[in-house]
Amino acid sequence: MSGMLHSVLNKLILSGDLKVHYTNNRIETYGNGSPPHVVLAFHTKAAERAIALDPELKLGECFMDGEISFPVGDIYSFLQLVFENTGATAAKEPWMRALAKLRKIFRPLQQMNTLSRSSKNVQRHYDLSGDLYDLFLDPDKQYSCAYFETPQSSLAEAQLAKKRHIAAKLQIHPDDKLLDIGCGWGGLGLYFAELLDADVTGVTLSQEQFQIANQRAQAQGLHHQARFLLQDYRQLDQQFDRISSVGMFEHVGVTHYAEFFQQVARLLKPDGSMVLHSIGRSDEPSSTNPFIRKYIFPGGYIPALSEVLPHIEQAGLVITDIEILRLHYAETLKAWRETFMANRDKAKALYDERFCRMWEFYLAGSESAFRWQNMMVFQIQLAHRQEAIPLTRNYIEQEEKRLKKLENCLFRIIRERYANENTAAQIFH
């Protein structure tokens, strides 16, 4: 089977420098010798066979199980070498194309996210130890794409800019009733409540997120105007002036898009607006990467805009703005990956070596998808009425400038309250 893999790599790797140590003591070299320089070592024949037949799933599994290693370079530099040779989509052998078609055929079954199944899927990922997420997220525990206003922005600054950008688009007024669908650990909702005096309801299916978000609201004295519920968005029946949803739509599943937007239409007041922030793909509809579906986000799917927009139209909602964030998530994931690797021993103490390898592959593969493949992030602004939003986008920049001033004022108040700049920064972010 090493002969089949050799044939694939020989056609695939034209630039860069890849040396492969096969189990039969053969060493083959691929590429033109330019950077990056990577050495891949196989430790089992089964790994050679598995990766040759199904690299999308088996590369990650074999790395996770220690059946392959990188004496020179790492999994990230290997993925860089592969994707810089293949572009957005890897050239696939006939059997790989057949597998891809089968996965797309069975996609609806894998994304039947009923109330009970959605809860179980969320718990698989988001109810891992909170200490794990503290090892690589920013102090506000923002687990979605940051917004890098400058290349020099820190992760914490970029995550704050993301919250500001979304708030500016929503045009929140004091006492507005605001719903955050998929509220995470509460950071975005608390920003709306503390800075803009909104009345916030957040919903999550993660027990960990539910508890931490409410603890944070209590600690910041915001529990009377920011409440977080352990509830599916489909079970809500009140109306809201503003709705946000950041990093949750990826868990809805393509078979539930009509249900999602019909419920949004019911929940949104006639003069209200919504901002939907989600990962998307810039090419045609496909299927979820099998490694990600099996080990990281069961039931998840990254949509093409062509799969989303018809359901918005059918729900009777008006699309008032679409913004595509390019490479912002690649930079976010780079920061997460580097911080996770710096804290790898702590992660291993929480779980084990196999888990650390799985997480390393997840972060490296995700960053690669945004940097060299077809992943991006879209923000869709929705309303019932087209006049609910200003006619030009100038208001976004103006509101961001106003929010920055409010943030600086709030930061000074918190810093004086706690007499400690580091503590204030952590609480504020």
Q: pLDDT band for position 288 (50/70/90)?
A: confident
| pLDDT greater at residue 89 or residue 79 | 79
Shared domain for 171 and 227, answered yes or no, is: yes
Least confident among 105-114, 209-218, 299-308, 313-322 = 105-114
Of 55, 76, 105, the position where a domain reaches its end is 105
Say whether both 135 and 265 belong to one domain. yes
Asked, for residue 287, whether it belongs to a domain, the answer is yes
Report yes or no on 58 lying in a domain: yes
Q: Predicted confidence band at 339 (pLDDT cuts at 50, 70, 90)?
A: very high
Contact (Cβ atoms closer than 8 angstroms) between residue 261 and residue 307: no
Are 214 and 93 in the same domain?
A: no
pLDDT at 421: 47
- Determine the pLDDT at residue 109: 60
pLDDT at 305 over 90: yes
The amino acid that residue 417 corresponds to is: R
Co-location of 282 and 335 in the same domain: yes
| Alpha-carbon span 344 to 336, nearest angstrom | 12
Question: Are residues 264 and 395 part of one domain?
Answer: yes
Residues 348, 209 share a domain: yes
The dihedrals phi and psi of 152, each to the nearest 5 degrees, come to -90, -5
User: At 195, phi and psi to the nearest 5?
Assistant: -80, -35
Entry pTM = 0.90
- Asked whether residue 178 is domain-assigned, the answer is yes
What CATH number did the domain enclosing 242 receive?
Answer: 3.40.50.150
Question: In total, how many domains does the chain have?
Answer: 2
The answer as to whether 321 is a domain residue is yes
Residues 26-53: what's their mean pLDDT? 95
Whether 119 and 95 share a structural domain: no
Q: Which domain holds residue 254?
A: 115-428
Same domain, 96 and 149: no
Is residue 245 helix, strand or coil? strand
pLDDT at 424 over 70: no
Does residue 110 belong to any structural domain of this protein? Answer: no
SS3 376: strand
Work out the mean pLDDT of the chain and round it to a whole number: 90
Residues sharing a CB contact under 8 Å with residue 253, sequence separation 6 or more, in sequence order: 111, 112, 113, 299, 300, 301
DSSP 304: B
Q: How confident is the model over 157-199, as pLDDT tens digits?
A: 999 999 999 999 999 999 999 999 999 999 999 999 999 999 9
